[in-house]
Amino acid sequence: MNMGMQFLEFAQVCEHLEGIPGRLEMIEQVAAVLPRLDDDELPVFVRFVMGRVFPDWSPKKLGVGPNLLYDAVAYVVGTKRETVREAINATGDAGLAVERLLAKKEQTSFFVQELQLIEVYREFERMAAAEGQRSQREKLRVAQGLFGNARPLEGRYLARLMLEELRIGMGEGNVRDAVARAFEIDVRLVEHAHQAMNDLGEVALLARRDPDALSRVTIEPFRPVKMMLAQTGTIAAQIEDHGEVAVEYKYDGSRFQFHKVGDVCRIYSRKLEDVTGSLPDIARLLMEATDHDVILDGEAVAVRDGRPMPFQYVIRRFRRKHEIDSMMEKIELVPRVFDILYLDGETLMDRPLEERRKALEEMLGAHVAEQFLVGDAAAAEAIYADALNLGHEGVMVKVPGSPYTPGVRGRLWVKVKPGVETLDLVVVGAEWGEGRRAGTFGSFLLAVQDQGRLLPVGKVATGITDEVLAELYALFKDKVLAHSGKEVMLEPEVVFEVGYSEIQTSPNYESGYALRFPRFVRVREDKSVDEAETLDMLVERYARQKNGQGSF
C-alpha cells in the first residue's frame, strides 16, 4: 500500500533540487518523483514544487503575510516576534531562518507528529477558507500547528510555501517538461492542456490517468485562462516576417476576460482576480451585446467626451471595492473586445485569429475593437499615426493565422508604441530615504525573474514624486520581510514599470546586468510577479541593443 508522501520527503526533494545547477537534471529528478505519488498528492506536489499552493485560475488565496509568519514561528519556538524578525534579517531568507530557529527548539521537544504532504495542503486550504474578523487568528492557529509539527528542514519549505516563493528554481517550464517526461507524453500536448486548464497539477493527473484526453482538454467558463501577451517590436519587421498583419489600436486601459453562460457573467482581471463587482458597467454592456455563451478578451477603457482617458483612471475602478456607484459617475468604462476564446460550448483558442475575429464580429453586437488588415508598412504606419492622434498608446500588430496562446509573450502579437523603452520589474527590496525622503523608502531594488528565481538588475530612485513616494510607502510598509541597516527586503508582489537608457553587463547584480539611468514610470497594478520581465528577455534586449538595432 502507498503510505503517502511525507512532507519531510517533499522538503528533501526541494533541498536536493536547490543544489542542482542544471535545468535538465532538475527536470529529471522531478520526473522521477511524479509517478510515485498517488492521485491526491500528484497535483499538490506539482504546484508546491513551483512554489504555488492553489491552481492559477483559482480565487483561493493563502493570505499569509510576513507578520503572521513571524508570530506563528515565535509561538512555536517560544520566543518573541522580534527575535524571529531578526533571524530573518540575519539570513535574508525566511526559510533558512525558520529552519535554524526550529533546530534550536528541536532538542527540547518530545513529540512530533509526522506531517504528510496532503495534510499540509489541507491545512493550507483551511487557512485560505478563513474569512472575516477572526480569519487572522484562525490562520495563525493553523500555521502554529504546522510549524509545531515540523522538523527544521520542513520548516524551511513550509515558510517559503506560505510566502509562495520556494527559491529552488523550478519554474512552470521545467515542471511542464518534468510532467511530459514522467508520463512519456509529447511536451506540446502537456503545454496545450496547461494553457486551457491553467493548472499544471490537474494536467499532471490527466497525463497519468488518460493521456489521450490531453488533446481534447477545453477551456471552461468561470475558470479564467492566462492572457496572451505581446512583445515589443516594429511594424516593418512584423510585415516582413508575416506579410499581411492585423493592426489594432493599443488601448491604454486595463485587460479583462469576460465569461458568460446564460444570464450569469464574471469578469477577471489580468491577474485573474474576479473583478465583476467593481465593473458593473462593463458587465451590463457586454450582457446586452450578446445572447451567446462566451469567453471574451478585451481592454476596459475610460472615456470622457469620446476621447480615451489615461490608464490611471481605469485602474482606480478595478481597485475600487466600495462606493462603485459614485465612482461610476466620475469614470465611465467601456469595453473594447479584441478576441474570443470560447463560443457556445466550443473552444476557439486553436483557431486562427482571422476566424476568431469573424466569430467575434458575428456574435457581438457592439464593443468590438477596430481592426485593419494591411500588407504594406506605409498603410500600417498611417494607422499607427492615427492611433496616437486619437489618444491611444500605439498599435498592436498581430499575425492573422495565429492561435490564442494563453500566458505566452511571443511574436504573434507585437506592441508598437513611441517613447522610452520600459521594463516591468519586480520590487524585491528598498532603502530608507534621507533628507526629504526620511521616514519613507527612497529607492527600490528591482529584479527580473528566471525560472522561479528573482535576480536583481538595479535600483530606481528617480521619477518618483513626493505624492507617489507616500503612496509607495503605504503600499510596501506591510511587505517588509527583513531589515539590514538602511535596506529592507520586501515580499515580491509588486511590479514597477521602469524606463532606462541602456542595459549594461554588471558584476554588481545577481542577474549579471544593470540598468543605466533607471526611471520610475508607474506601478503595474495589473501585473503579477510572474508576468515581469524574464532574464532571457533582458538578455535578448541587451543583444539587440549591442547589434545597434536600438532597444526595439
Residues at the interface with ligand AMP (CB under 6 A): 227, 229-230, 248-251, 255, 299, 338, 369, 396, 415
Residue type, 12: Q
Q: Are strands 513-516 and 245-250 parallel, antiparallel or unpaired?
A: unpaired
Q: Would you say 252 and 237 are in contact if contact means Cβ atoms under 8 Å apart?
A: no
Would you name the residues annotated as active-site residues?
250
Q: How far is the CB of 322 from ligand AMP (least distance, A)?
A: 25
Query: What is the nearest approach in angstroms of ligand AMP to the Cβ of residue 539?
Result: 18
Instruction: Return the CA Rg of the chain.
Output: 24
Q: First and final CA of the chain: distance in angstroms?
A: 58
Task: Name which of 415 and 522 has its Cβ closer to ligand AMP.
Answer: 415
Q: Find cell 517559503 and name the residue.
A: 160
d(CA 261, CA 287): 10
Of the candidates 444, 420, 443, 442, the one whose C-alpha atom is nearest the C-alpha of residue 503 is 420
CB of 359 to ligand AMP, least distance (A): 16
- Give residues with Cβ within 8 angstroms of 35, minimum separation 6: 182, 183, 208
- Separation between Cα atoms, residue 336 and residue 334, nearest integer Å: 7
| Cβ contact 447:496 at 8 Å | no
Query: What's the min distance (Å) between Cβ of 504 and ligand AMP?
Result: 23
Q: Across the chain, which distance is largest between two alpha carbons, in Å?
A: 78
**229-232 and 409-416 as β-strands: parallel, antiparallel, unpaired?**
parallel
Q: Cα–chain-centroid distance for residue 483?
A: 26
Min CB(357)–ligand AMP separation in Å: 11
475, 494 Cβ separation under 8 angstroms: yes
Kindly tell me which of 11 and 387 has the beta carbon lying closer to ligand AMP: 387
**What's the half-sphere exposure (Cβ side, CA atoms, 13 Å) at 270?**
20
Q: Which is nearer to ligand AMP, 206 or 515 (CB)?
A: 515
Q: Which amino acid is at 345?
A: G
Q: Which is nearer to ligand AMP, 396 or 480 (CB)?
A: 396
Q: What stretches of 244-370 adopt beta strand conformation (E)?
A: 245-250, 254-261, 264-269, 294-304, 307-308, 332-343, 346-347
For residues 208 and 183, what is the distance between their CA atoms, to the nearest angstrom? Answer: 6
70 CB contacts (<8 Å, ≥6 apart)?
Answer: 81, 84, 85, 88
Provide the pairing of β-strand 254-261 with 294-304: antiparallel
State the sign of the Cα–Cα–Cα–Cα dihedral 498, 500, 504, 506: negative
Closer Cβ to ligand AMP, 174 or 269, answer by number: 269
Q: Which cell numbers hold the place of 378? A: 506605409
Write down the least CB distance from residue 253 to ligand AMP, Å.
Answer: 7
- Closest CB to ligand AMP among 266 and 270? 270
Minimum CB separation from ligand AMP for residue 249, in Å?
A: 6
Q: Which lies closer to ligand AMP via its Cβ, residue 185 or residue 538?
A: 538
For ligand AMP, the closer of residues 249 and 342 by Cβ is: 249
